[in-house]
Amino acid sequence: MTRDRYGFLLLLHAEWTKFRTVRGWVTGTVAAALLVVLFAVLAGIGGGDGGPDVPVGPDGGPVTDSFYLVHRPLTGDGSVTAAVSAPRSSLPRGLADLRPGRVPWSKAGLIIKAGTRQGSPYAAIMLTGGHGVRMQDGYTRDTAGPAGAAPRWLRLDRSGEEVTGLASADGTHWTRVGTVRVRGLGTTVLGGPFVASPPAVRGMGTSGSVSTAVFEDLHAEGGWADGKWKGEQVGPRSPTFSGYPRNVAGSVAEEGGRLTVTGAGDIAPAVRASLPTGGTLGEILTGAFAALVAVVVIGTQFITSEYRGSLIHLTLAAAPRRGRVLAAKAIVLWTVTFAAGLVGAAVAVPVGGRLARASGVYVFPVAFATELRVVAGIAALLATASVLALAVGAVLRHGAGAVSAVVVGIVLPYVLVAIPFMPAGVSNWAARVTPAAAFAVQQTLVPYDQVASVYTPYEGYYPLPPWAGLGVLAGYAAAALAVAAVLLHRRDA
Amino acid sequence: MSPTGIVVAGLRKRYGAAPALDGMSFSVRPGVVTGFVGPNGAGKSTTMRVILGLDAVEAGAALVDGRPYRSLRRPLNRVGSLLDAAAPHPGRSGRDHLLWLAHAQGLASRRVDQVIEQVGLAPAARRRGGAYSLGMRQRLGIAAALLGDPPILMLDEPFNGMDPDGIIWMRAFLRSLAAQGRAVLVSSHLMSEVQDVADHLVVAGRGRALADAAVDDLVAAVSEGRVTLRTTAAPHATAVLVRAGASVVAGGRDTVTVSGLPADRIAALLGAGAVPFSEVSAHRATLEDVYLELTREAVEYRAATSTEVRR
């Protein structure tokens, strides 16, 4: 058994020697790595317009923090209560025509926030257009409250850094929705009613909306400053705020103790559709696609060239156990391509990111572990695709045919995934069941349930988790290798 | 004592409906050069691929040292082979081509340089394979076959594409390999290429061995009962002998080959008929005759072969 294993090491050595002694394959692999870097540099110096700063939340992620706030200062502890009507939303139809419409995540409620600076900490309880009562804080956290019909009574209690949200159907019997600790709130905060109305998803895009809600029986207890409630648009000019529809603006009107508040925008994490100018690691690594074509060609040639010159006879005469020859080729090819891809991506990601930021592009921030996953994942994608190409080459035994087959098998679905205007159903299907699913390894954006948006592969959101997507490609490669091994065994060489 | 050499027994194989091998059987012994001759399509290359475990057969077995090739460990140390058109990758140098092969067998790269010297390829060893002439590729193929210093060598059409110097070198080289005690099987579709080098001959036709014998025995068998007659009056002589029941075939200038009558009876008949003749002797067939005699019926496409023979 040990002698057997030694024999396999010899085969690995032989296949490595084969690979490194064909200059075209070595330079092609190096070129693939360089392509990854080159595209990253081009993407980096492509530059942006250097617009206003992207607001950033307490955890460093980009946020949308633009909404209509009606506020008074609160020093120390206190609470605010109101009966809130469900927000009524309007969407633009045509150029200047607003029509009533559904915006499920329109928000009307009460908020306590450190200040009007975008990205400052807050906690809020609200009635939504389609998701009932919610308590939210820190931009990304969202807790569901009791279901039921509007109008609802809402209350927010502040005690130090702790904020408790309560909801009631009658103003007497209260249900606690949640208590959150809001770090960095400070002693004096702003608080009061607010209305937000995020863009609504329409087909393959989003369009701005505006919502209005009525607040009754508004009263504040505790350390609130005296004076009138003051209406103000938070974050009126922000890259994550698409503004109001034409001829509408945020407003508050008081009439007999009833406040009618109109607002647009959102208090939420920024997603791709709300920050379309933001860059992602996936865009920095566009060169991976060009590299893919290169490694696919090398992968097929690694075996089909042996058939073209009947070198395969000598290979199999030297190693009659054919499955092992295929395994040795696959291991050598995978390792070499992985190494090249790893170097390319490991250089491209920091260089491209730095260049992009230097030229004024906002790049969606990524945890170091995620960055490592993307770099290693892209390398594994290239390596696994090359092994798939090798297997198809072993089945078809013809270079051009195998290259076409693999390019059609990976590139075509990738096109379905990566071009805009592709219906989400089609691109999500392609990103689930075709080898192009592997591009999920480069996803860095996070979709949020509480943010209605266009979550398609083109926008940087894949239907499968990163490693599962790579697993789909690996599955294709393993199946193709199995078929290749059976045929190699059965067919005359 | 374990059997040495190659034993091929009853190989049968079909490509679609056409039989490629139809009971091919022969053996290759150590210490001699065995010529494997036959027209194109006789099954020589297929047989060699079967011996190397590259092609499967429907019936029969090919054994190397008593074992199927596929069960050999480090097979190149047992059998060295050169198959038709063995070509390195056009982008790989001849030396690198041998290097991966050496690595596959656990051989040192020193051995690569030795065989390169042995086949006289040293000046071109670092050139890309794509730039090699057919003759250089044949030398490279021989080097690959010798790499494991194997006791058995199997070379398919090694003379193809070689210039006259190369052919002379190759013949001497094959003889020296056999003299070292190796079993050497050399295929060719041209009798002339192997006639000075083979001790033993396997003549293939229509997928089977038409003959498997020592060269001397084959020549004797074909010569049996034939008489060479040298005469300036061939038509007259032919008429006389045919009338006496002999069959006569025209030979070279002024000679005919007669069979069916002993030499002394021929001389008497010609003397009685006053036909002039200068010589009556036992016929000595050439290997070419043997080949033609054995393959006459086996040649499937006579016209095709005759052009190939002139290639």
B54: closest chain A residue by CA: A493
The pLDDT tens digits for B197-215 are 899 999 998 899 988 988 8
Residues of B in contact with A332 (CB under 8 A): none
Mutate to test the interface with A, among B92, B147, B153 (most CBs of A within 10 A): B92
- A151 confidence band (pLDDT: 50, 70, 90): low
Report the pLDDT value the prediction gives residue B301, as an integer from 0 to 100.
Answer: 44
Region A141-155 average pLDDT? 83
For residue A206, the distance in angstroms to the closest alpha carbon of chain B comes to 54
Confidence of residue A96 (pLDDT cuts 50, 70, 90): low
Q: What would the pLDDT profile of B70-96 be if each residue is shown by its tens digit? A: 999 889 999 999 986 557 888 999 999
Nearest CA-CA distance, residue B106 and chain A, Å? 6
Section B36-54 average pLDDT: 92
Banded pLDDT at A414 (limits 50, 70, 90): confident
* Domain boundaries defined on chain B: 6-213, 226-282
**Does the pLDDT of residue B2 top 60, yes or no?**
no
Contact criterion met (CB below 8 Å) for A393 and A302 = yes
- Whether B307 shows a pLDDT value over 50: the answer reads no
Q: What is the CATH number of domain B6-213?
A: 3.40.50.300
Please list every residue in chain A whose beta carbon sits closer than 8 Å to the beta carbon of residue B75.
Answer: 317-318, 320
Structure tokens at A39: 């595209």
Q: Which residues contact B241 (CB under 8 A, 6 or more apart)?
A: B248, B258, B261, B266, B269, B270
- Say if residue B46's pLDDT is above 60: yes
Domains and CATH numbers, chain A: 3-48+277-490 (no CATH), 63-269 (2.60.120)
Confidence of residue A93 (pLDDT cuts 50, 70, 90): confident
pLDDT category at A210 given cuts 50, 70, 90 is very high
Contacts of residue A3 in chain B, CB cutoff 8 Å?
73
Would you state the pLDDT for residue B308?
Answer: 38
Q: What is the pLDDT of residue B230?
A: 87
Chains A & B: contacts with CB separation below 8 Å: 93
State how far the Cα of B22 lies from the Cα of A224, in Å rounded to an integer: 106
Q: Residue B267: pLDDT above 60?
A: yes
| Range 45-74 of B in CB contact (< 8 A) with A | 49, 52-56, 69-74
Percent residues over pLDDT 70 in chain A: 97
Encode pLDDT of A57-81 as tens digits.
998 999 999 999 999 999 999 999 9
Surface of A (248-307) touching B: CB under 8 A? 305-306
Whether B293 shows a pLDDT value over 80: the answer reads no
Q: Which is more confidently placed, B304 or A470?
A: A470
Say whether pLDDT at A3 is over 70.
no
Q: Which residues of B touch A313 (CB under 8 A)?
A: 49, 52, 54, 83, 86
pLDDT at residue number A343: 98
User: Given a cut of 60, is residue B306 above it in pLDDT?
Assistant: no
* Contact: A318, B105; criterion CB under 8 Å: yes
User: Does A320 contact B72 at a Cβ distance shorter than 8 Å?
Assistant: yes
Q: Which of A92-96, A219-223, A406-410, B292-296 has the highest mean pLDDT?
A: A219-223
What is the average per-residue pLDDT within B120-134?
90
d(CA B78, CA A466): 50
In the structure encoding, which two tokens stand for residue A489, read together? Answer: 């065994």
Crossing angle of helices A311-318 and B94-104, rounded to 10°: 30
The mean pLDDT value for A231-254 works out to 91
Per-residue pLDDT, averaged over A76-88, amounts to 94
Instruction: Please provide the DSSP assignment of B102-163 as one string.
Output: HHHTT--HHHHHHHHHHTT-GGGTTSBGGG--HHHHHHHHHHHHHTT--SEEEEESTTTT--
B199 at A interface, C-beta within 8 A: no
**Residues of chain A with C-beta less than 8 angstroms from the C-beta of B72:** 320
The reported pLDDT for the residue numbered A421 is 78
Residues B282-309, mean pLDDT to the nearest whole number: 61
Mean pLDDT of A118-124: 96
Give the chain A residue whose CA is nearest to the CA of B15. A492
A2, pLDDT greater than 50: no
A254 conformational bin, left if phi > 0, alpha if psi -120 to 50, beta if neither: beta
Q: Does pLDDT of A51 surpass 90?
A: no
Phi, psi (deg, nearest 5) at residue B130? -65, -20
Residue A178 has pLDDT above 60, yes or no: yes
Q: What does the pLDDT average to over A405-430?
A: 85
Contact B89 A305 (CB under 8 A): yes
pLDDT of residue A4: 58
Per DSSP, A199 falls in state: P
Give the pLDDT mean for B150-170: 90
- What's the confidence (pLDDT) of residue A16? 97
State which residue of chain A sits closest to B72, comparing Cα positions.
Answer: A320
Top residue of A313, A324, A329, A490 to mutate, by most chain B CBs within 10 Å, is A313
Touching check for B119 and chain A: CB below 8 Å?
Answer: no
Cα A209 to its chain centre, rounded Å, is 23
CA dihedral B179, B180, B185, B186 (to 10 degrees): -60
Instruction: Compute the average pLDDT of residues B258-266.
Output: 84
B304 to chain A, closest Cα gap in Å: 25
Residues of A whose CB is below 8 A from B76? 317-318
Residue A318 to residue B75, Cβ atoms within 8 A: yes
How far is Cα A457 from Cα B106, in angstroms, rounded to an integer?
49
Instruction: Please state, in angstroms and rounded to a whole number, the distance separating the CA atoms of residues B199 and B214.
Output: 6
pLDDT the model gives residue B19: 87
CB-CB: which of A11, A309, A320 is closest to B70? Answer: A320
Q: Which of A376-380, B63-67, B233-237 has the highest mean pLDDT?
A: A376-380
Q: In degrees to the nearest 10, what's the CA dihedral of A135, A137, A140, A145? A: -10
Contact in structure between B185 and B36 (CB atoms under 8 Å): yes
Quote the pLDDT of residue A399. Answer: 85
**pLDDT interval class at B161 (50, 70, 90):** confident
The reported pLDDT for the residue numbered B84 is: 65
User: Are A310 and B87 within 8 A, CB to CB?
Assistant: yes
Between B162 and A13, residue with greater pLDDT: A13
**Minimum CA–CA partner of A325 in chain B:** B104
Q: Is A369 on the interface with B (CB under 8 A)?
A: no
Tokens of A379: 């390398």
Band (pLDDT 50/70/90 cuts) for residue B311 is: very low
**pLDDT tens-digit series, residues A243-260:** 898 888 999 999 988 999
Of the pLDDT bands very low, low, confident and very high (cuts 50, 70, 90), residue A149 is low
Write down the pLDDT at residue B305: 38
For the record, the structure tokens of A71 come out as: 């506020």
Interface membership of B144 toward A (CB under 8 Å): yes
**The pLDDT value given to residue B303:** 37
Average pLDDT of the residues in A172-184: 93
Q: What is the C-alpha to C-alpha distance for residues B132 and B136, in angstroms, rounded to an integer? A: 6
Q: What is the pLDDT of residue A73?
A: 96
Question: What is the residue-averaged pLDDT of chain A?
Answer: 91
Per residue in A312-347, pLDDT (tens digit) is 999 999 999 999 999 999 999 999 999 999 999 999
pLDDT of residue B240: 87
**Measured between beta carbons, which residues in chain A are less than 8 angstroms from residue B78?**
none
